[in-house]
Amino acid sequence: MVSHLTQETLLDNLVVVLQRPQDARNIGAVMRAMKNMGISDLRLVQAEPLEPAAILRVAHHCEDLLARVTLHDTLDDALADAIYVVGTAALIHKARPQTDAIRPVAAQLTTQLQQGKVVLLFGQEDDGLDNAALDRCHLIVTLPTNADYPALNLAQSVLLLLYEVRMAVLTEAPSDIPALPVAPQADLERLFQASTTTLDALGFFKGNQAPTMRKLRQMVYKATLSPADVGLLLAIVRRVQRLIQASEPTAPN
């Protein structure tokens, strides 16, 4: 059971990741929203050069959060320890699981937070998340705004989602389900990369491989694999790779 986990411990497992943020003031506004909601883990991917003074002009009394911010060259690096990734989008992406039922999602996340790091992923201010980022999301959420004026700025979106998750953590009864180990995103990415290489070598893909791999990713995400599960699947894939290589004719001398 996970009854030893406190509400604050659960919130410590919640991570905000900003992909390619463009404006220090927006980062500051996000940081302020995080401090309001008791969240302290902010990760920036391919961010513009940071201007601490500009950030703190908006993020009053957030020096502690600024000191903890981590910078990442790739999204995979920022997501490496996550066991669940929730992306955000204003548009509908039919090929991916998506919902605007924010409160049920927030309630569901209380379970994931008991198992490990959960990421709320936000794209750059003017363009949102790209396809590669969306592919790394277990779920995509859209805030149910007024259809006549749906645009939210980055900090507003962050604050609304953090508020819903915080309220769910504060009000949901602790789960009595054993906290089974869940494979982090870094393990899954190794499996996806090896699977892509192997399936390509087998001639499995007919044309564009992206739709097939997108479906495979969603199947794996739904399965909630353990590290041991991923290890077994990866061993199988690598064995197939070796058999393929052994069957290839050697080049003449």
Question: Which tens digits make up the pLDDT trace of 208-220?
Answer: 899 999 999 999 9
Which tens digits make up the pLDDT trace of 64-120?
A: 999 999 999 999 999 999 999 999 988 777 778 999 999 999 999 999 999 999 999
Are the C-beta atoms of 14 and 113 separated by less than 8 Å? yes
Alpha-carbon distance 245 to 23, whole Å?
A: 48
Query: Which carries the bigger pLDDT value, residue 173 or residue 14?
Result: 14
Which tens digits make up the pLDDT trace of 176-209?
A: 656 679 999 999 999 999 999 999 999 999 888 9
Has residue 5 got a pLDDT over 70?
Answer: no
Alpha-carbon distance 203 to 179, whole Å?
A: 39
pTM of the model: 0.89
For helices 185-201 and 210-223, give the axis angle rounded to 10 degrees. Answer: 140
Neighbouring residues of 156: CB distance < 8 A, sequence distance ≥ 6: none
Least confident of 4-18, 68-82, 122-136: 4-18
Alpha-carbon distance 151 to 158, whole Å?
A: 13
Task: Report the pLDDT value the prediction gives residue 152, as an integer from 0 to 100.
Answer: 87
HEC letters along the chain: CCCCCCHHHHHHCEEEEEECCCCHHHHHHHHHHHHHHCCCEEEEECCCCCCHHHHHHHCCCCHHHHHHCEEECCHHHHHCCEEEEEEECCCCCCCCCEECCHHHHHHHHHHHHCCCEEEEEECECCCECCHHHHHCCCEEECCCCCCCCCCCCHHHHHHHHHHHHHHHHHHCCCCCCCCCCCCCHHHHHHHHHHHHHHHHHCCCCCCCCHHHHHHHHHHHHHHCCCHHHHHHHHHHHHHHHHHHHHHCCCCCC
Neighbouring residues of 59: CB distance < 8 A, sequence distance ≥ 6: 27, 28, 29, 31, 32, 35, 65, 66
Least confident of 32-36, 51-55, 73-77, 149-153: 149-153
Q: What is the largest CA-CA distance in the chain?
A: 71
Neighbouring residues of 60: CB distance < 8 A, sequence distance ≥ 6: 32
Confidence of residue 3 (pLDDT cuts 50, 70, 90): very low
For 103, the token pair is: 């409160």
Task: Report the pLDDT value the prediction gives residue 174, as an integer from 0 to 100.
Answer: 62
Structural domains of the chain, with CATH: 7-171 (3.40.1280.10), 185-247 (1.10.8)
